[in-house]
Amino acid sequence: MLRERKGPDYMKIRRIAMLSIIVLSIVAANLITSVPSMAQSSQMKDDIEQLAVDLHVGIDRSTLTPQQKAQLRDDFRELKEAHQNHEMFKGLRAARSIRTALDSGAFKPEDQQRIKQDIAAIKEAREQGGSGFHL
């Protein structure tokens, strides 16, 4: 009876079982490692949305010219697109332009501080996520 169990069918079933275990292990490992990155991605999205809100409020209360306001909104749009499309240099240019406007003295101190905190939160999330560019 033992010889029957060790036949070709038994070996086939054993291989299938082993392959199934390996595949399930790989899938489980991928899920375990992707959950934190999805959480970081969600946090990053929340941080960018908060920056958008605070930037909008700060721009409206600033002494920037209409052209400067339009440029800053364009810069933020570029920054958001750069994040979504993983375009490091585009994001760096947009971030630099936003920082320049922020440090121009046209923003109220409380708005400037809130926006800088938002930028710091995004930078921290990027560093934790291992993305290549920083704000």
pLDDT tens-digit series, residues 13-25: 777 767 667 766 6
pLDDT band per the 50, 70, 90 thresholds, residue 70 = very high
Instruction: Give ∠ CA 107-111-115 in degrees, rounded to 5.
Output: 105
pLDDT band per the 50, 70, 90 thresholds, residue 34 = very low
**What global pTM score does this model have?**
0.62
Distances (CA, A) of 85 to 2, 23, 40, 63, 82: 60, 31, 16, 32, 5
Distances (CA, A) of 22 to 16, 17, 27, 37, 98: 10, 9, 9, 23, 49
pLDDT at 53: 92
pLDDT band per the 50, 70, 90 thresholds, residue 62 = very high
27's tokens: 């899938």
Q: Are 52 and 60 in contact (CB under 8 A)?
A: no
114's tokens: 């809130």
